Amino acid sequence: MVGILSLASDNLERIRQQVSDHLDKAEQVQRSEQQTQALMDSIAKKLKQEDAVLVAHYYTAPEVQALAEQTGGFVSDSLEMARFGRDHPAKTLIVAGVKFMGETAKILTPNKRVLMPTLEATCSLDIGCPIDQFDAFCNEHPDRTVVVYANTSAAVKARADWVVTSSIALQVAEHLNQQGEKILWAPDRHLGAYVKKASGADIIAWDGACIVHEEFKARGILDLKRAHPDAEVLAHPESPDSVLEIADQIGSTTQIIQAAVSSKASKFIVATDQGIFYKLQQAAPDKIFMIAPTAGNGATCRSCANCPWMAMNELEALDRVFEVGGNEIFVEPALAERAMLPLERMLSFKATL
């Protein structure tokens, strides 16, 4: 097991280097308001012509989320995006997010065309959990129920007993613990540690991490809280334990938005990707939101509360989505069928809550 875990850590270092190289090359898109509007109009027209609907993740740029809403599409977390796409009558789904979200949409909706602005948009949790190493890890622990996070490839999902999202992870672990089952958790070690602590379940976890959430720093948050003592801290459970310990509320993206709306507080320090500010401000326009600090003095954070892969979903890429080629999601049918089982298990469980 140790060998596999250290391989995962090596992967994380490689991923950090890839992100750094990508950010070095990435051009900062500068456009005027008129150019942004022209692009949005152009995309809206093409969506209509192609009988397509745009579903966007909370972490995409504000203009992408606005476009999804203005054109009858949807903005949400990965599972709700896939569910919306499945139930919408459009023939084509345009998924603005990262690759595993396109795959989940395709698994739930095999008869629709699923396109993404670029297939290069991935996730450190997904690429940090390659199927061959993960399969070996599972084989070493045949007595454990395999629970994987939605941020994984179709192949890893197909190897699992359960798929969970951050909104339901704790309830599933509590449920399995009550059944006396021991859990093998992948890929996020912070979410795994949080669920283990909160549920008391017997969990061993894969050593993956989100390069965005891992950067939040408890010390910086406490400094900010000293300046704003009335602010509540809202944190995503992919954040490190030191951050979760000082959080007032811990939850998925959707739960963070709900907490901001229902809380009596009027100021919040938010530990998740800053793309969520579009929806936070829309849901609670009179409240103040501050991004949680990501680095101490002198540190060099390269993906500060801003996922570099989510940022690839630019309007320019969306405007080319029908012409570019090679950006359609395919999941091999037998694999999709196997991956569907743990996904359906989660959906059925959720329906009982």
Q: How far is the CB of 200 from ligand SF4 (least distance, A)?
A: 25
User: For 29, which DSSP code?
Assistant: P
| Region label for 187, one of left (φ > 0), alpha (ψ between -120 and 50) or beta (otherwise) | alpha
Q: Does 104 bind ligand SF4 (CB under 6 A)?
A: no
For ligand SF4, the closer of residues 151 and 294 by Cβ is 151
Contacts of 267-270 spanning 24+ positions with Cβ under 8 A:
267/228, 267/230, 267/231, 267/232, 268/231, 268/232, 268/233, 268/234, 269/221, 269/224, 269/225, 269/228, 269/231, 269/232, 269/233, 269/234, 270/234, 270/235
Q: Which is nearer to ligand SF4, 39 or 156 (CB)?
A: 156
Query: Please, what is the minimum distance in Å from the beta carbon of residue 25 to ligand SF4?
Result: 18
Are β-strands 113-115 and 145-149 bridged in parallel, bridged antiparallel, or unpaired? unpaired
The number of CA neighbours under 13 Å toward the Cβ of 319 is 12
d(CA 352, CA 107) in angstroms, rounded, equals: 22
Cβ-Cβ contacts under 8 Å for 341 (sequence gap 6 or more): none
DSSP 154-218: HHHHHT-SEEE-TTTHHHHHHHHHHTT--EEEESBHHHHHHHHHHH---EEE--B--TTGGG--H
Cα separation, 58 vs 236, in Å, equals 13
Please choose, out of 250-258, 307-315, 316-324, 325-333, the segment that lies near ligand SF4 by the rule CB under 6 A: 307-315
Stretch that binds ligand SF4, among 34-42, 154-162, 241-249, 305-313 (CB under 6 A): 305-313
Contact positions with ligand SF4 (CB under 6 A) in 238-297: 273
Of 17 and 42, the one with the shorter C-beta distance to ligand SF4 is 17
Candidates 105, 350, 110, 351; CA nearest to 252 is 350
Binding mask 51-90 for ligand SF4 (x = CB under 6 A): --------x-------------------------------
**Binding residue for ligand SF4, selected from 92, 124, 145, 254, defined by CB under 6 A:** 124
For ligand SF4, the closer of residues 39 and 169 by Cβ is: 169
Position among 145, 151, 153, 327 found at the interface with ligand SF4 (CB under 6 A): 151
- Stretch of residues binding ligand SF4 (CB under 6 A), selected from 42-50, 61-69, 111-119, 121-129: 121-129
In the complex, least distance from residue 149 CB atom to ligand SF4, rounded to whole angstroms: 9
In the list 147, 307, 321, 336, the residue contacting ligand SF4 (rule: CB under 6 A) is 307
> Distance between the two ends of the chain, CA-based, in angstroms?
35
CA distance 33 to 19: 29
Binding status of residue 108 toward ligand SF4 by CB under 6 A: no
Tell me whether residue 124 or residue 145 sits nearer to ligand SF4 (CB atom).
124
Q: Name the residue nearer to ligand SF4 (CB basis): 172 or 310.
A: 310
* 308 touches 275 (CB < 8 A): no
Question: Backbone phi, then psi, for 276, in 5-degree steps?
Answer: -65, -15
- Smallest separation (angstroms) from ligand SF4 to the CB of 181: 26
Phi, psi of 213 (to 5 degrees): -70, -30
Q: Does 123 bind ligand SF4 (CB under 6 A)?
A: yes
CA distance 235 to 43: 34
| Number of amino acids touching ligand SF4 (CB under 6 A) | 13
Site track for ligand SF4 across 193-232, x = CB under 6 A: -----------------xxx--------------------
The one segment of 81-89, 117-125, 287-295, 315-323 that binds ligand SF4 by CB under 6 A: 117-125
Cβ distance to ligand SF4 smaller for residue 92 or 151: 151
Contacting residues toward ligand SF4, per CB under 6 A: 59, 98, 123-125, 151, 210-212, 273, 307, 309-310
